[in-house]
Amino acid sequence: MDDALGRGSSRQGAGRRHAVVVGGSLAGLLAAHVLAEHADRVTVVERDRIADEPGTRPGVPQGRHVHVLLEGGQVALDALLPGFMAELGAAGAPRLGMPSDMVQWQGGRWFRRTDATTHIYTGSRGQVEHLVRRRVLANPLITVVASTEAVGLAGDARRVRGVLVRERGAGADAAPRTLEADLVVDASGRGTRADRWLAEIGAEPPREETIDTGLAYASRLYRNRSDHLGSEALGYYVYPSADQVYSGGVLPLEDGRHLVILAGLRGDEPPTDEEGFTAYAARFPHPFIHEWMKEAVPESAPFGFRRTSNVRRRYDRPGRRPAGFLATGDALCTFNPIYGQGMAVAALSAVALRDALADPRRTPTTRRVQHALFDASRQAWDISAGADRAMPGAVGSAVATRAVDRPAGWYLGRVQQRYPGDPVIGPAFRSVLTLTAPVSALFAPKVVRAALFGPVAATPSGPPLRRETAAERTVPAR
């Protein structure tokens, strides 16, 4: 039975275990942090140059767009890097209470702005990644090899023994060098080439599950110059559904600016010219975002993103795969970014890696650890893929709905119908969406009673620009 870190291997001997992580984004940095507790040194291979200050990187093409840190990710980050969330707050990352701080619309209904039952952070991706990198690289066991790309694996179908790397820009004809390792973790993101790398050493690539709605989005930075997006409404958002496919919103950043995101489906993508971008917001079912944009001061050109398919690589399934190789983050499972799950899943996956490697009851074999990583992303996949299956024009190998899933789908439809205004269903559904509670929380007795037998609570007739008062919380059902 193999050990994922090659403990007991005679090739390097005790006390010389080396782990290599391909990719220095959130998933890779957090994996390196965990591995430093088990390996004697950890090397992070990063294709981009690492800047000293927060900012976007070419290797994170969606890095300039809206990112939210869900509460499940917040809890995981604090477990991995104690005090991290306090540090993020001190750096100015906006913290929004849900539903109290957001004006939200979905499925023809406005959400009641009752007391928050969960919180999200809406600062930039670059800020979160910078703070994580600073904490992780303070460990002297962890080093980064920047401006270097991984081009293959060393080893064979039985065991990976390192990664082939080449200085970025050296050209395809330049001979790669081998960075020997007892464990290689692929955290290279949505554009992973691990399927090719595995095939080249005689191993079997994982089968892919895909769901692609063709969703595309565009974002633009603004400076708010009015008070209608003030302390009582920190953000606006329109969520998509099968009947209303346009989505987007306005969310605050750490520097006092706001990021506007607009999204549509294949063939009706939001434009990236100034006039077309503003006009596109008029397609929403209410003009509140369009009106805000017309009053705010734009501070960037619109920029687009098109690669939004859900892709899950089934490393958990049987196959001829080598020991000493793991996949995590977007290299394992990538979601439609519109649901804001990526950073949270990166952190949850690192917690799963930590727990699997430290489990005293079981040898942390490559297969067992990979299963743990897969399980860490399962709930987010079920949410993202489940929503995207219902969107018109969705294509891919995982689009079909199984007959066994239809009763649960019917029940969840009732839950979603009541979610914007029900005081029992709303908190439970938010806890699942923010990855702080399992899906089974929606089948708790009080939630089932409310979903099956309770009325649909009344919700505001127009955008609720202020929070509900205590007197308004006793609204009649309809």
Question: According to the model, what pLDDT value does residue 403 have?
Answer: 78
**Distant-in-sequence, close-in-space partners of 345: CB < 8 Å, separation ≥ 6:** 73, 329, 333, 335, 376, 377, 380, 435
pLDDT one-digit tens code per residue, 146-189: 999 999 999 999 999 999 999 987 777 788 999 999 999 999 99
Residue 458 has pLDDT above 90, yes or no: yes
Q: Determine phi and psi for 429, rounding to 5 degrees.
A: -65, -40
pLDDT one-digit tens code per residue, 190-202: 999 999 999 999 9
Confidence of residue 64 (pLDDT cuts 50, 70, 90): low
Question: According to the model, what pLDDT value does residue 471 have?
Answer: 67
Residue 15 has pLDDT above 70, yes or no: no
Confidence of residue 37 (pLDDT cuts 50, 70, 90): very high
Residue 12 has pLDDT above 50, yes or no: no
Residue 10 has pLDDT above 50, yes or no: no
Percent of the chain scoring above 70 in pLDDT: 93
Confidence of residue 253 (pLDDT cuts 50, 70, 90): very high
Mean predicted confidence (pLDDT) in 52-81 = 81
Confidence of residue 473 (pLDDT cuts 50, 70, 90): low
β-pair partners for 219: 261, 303
Domains by residue range for the chain, with CATH: 18-62+130-209+310-386 (3.50.50.60), 95-124+212-305 (3.30.9.40), 405-473 (no CATH)
Count other Cβ atoms within 10 Å, centred on residue 50.
Answer: 14
Mean predicted confidence (pLDDT) in 244-273 = 94
**Distant-in-sequence, close-in-space partners of 163: CB < 8 Å, separation ≥ 6:** 20, 22, 45, 150, 152, 153, 154, 178, 179, 181, 184
Residue 13 has pLDDT above 60, yes or no: no
Residue 239 has pLDDT above 90, yes or no: yes
Question: According to the model, what pLDDT value does residue 469 have?
Answer: 79
Across all residues in the chain, what is the average pLDDT? 91
Question: According to the model, what pLDDT value does residue 477 have?
Answer: 43
Residue 9 has pLDDT above 50, yes or no: no
Helical ranges in 36-70 per DSSP H: none
Question: According to the model, what pLDDT value does residue 282 have?
Answer: 95
Residue 48 has pLDDT above 50, yes or no: yes
Better-predicted residue by pLDDT, 61 or 294: 294
Confidence of residue 434 (pLDDT cuts 50, 70, 90): very high
Rg of the chain over all Cα atoms, to the nearest angstrom: 23
Percent of the chain scoring above 90 in pLDDT: 81
Confidence of residue 61 (pLDDT cuts 50, 70, 90): low
Tokens of 57: 């990187």
First to last CA, the chain: 60
Residue for token pair 């969960």:
118
Mean predicted confidence (pLDDT) in 207-236 = 86
Question: According to the model, what pLDDT value does residue 60 have?
Answer: 60
Question: According to the model, what pLDDT value does residue 478 have?
Answer: 44
Mean predicted confidence (pLDDT) in 55-59 = 60
Evaluate the omega torsion of the peptide bond into residue 99 and state whether it is cis, within 30 degrees of 0.
yes
Mean predicted confidence (pLDDT) in 94-103 = 96
Single pTM value for the model: 0.94
Better-predicted residue by pLDDT, 426 or 306: 426
Instruction: Give long-range contacts, CB 8 A cutoff, 24+ apart: 142-145.
Output: 142/32, 142/33, 142/36, 142/41, 142/42, 142/43, 142/44, 143/41, 143/42, 143/43, 143/44, 144/24, 144/43, 144/44, 144/46, 144/50, 145/43, 145/44, 145/45, 145/46, 145/179
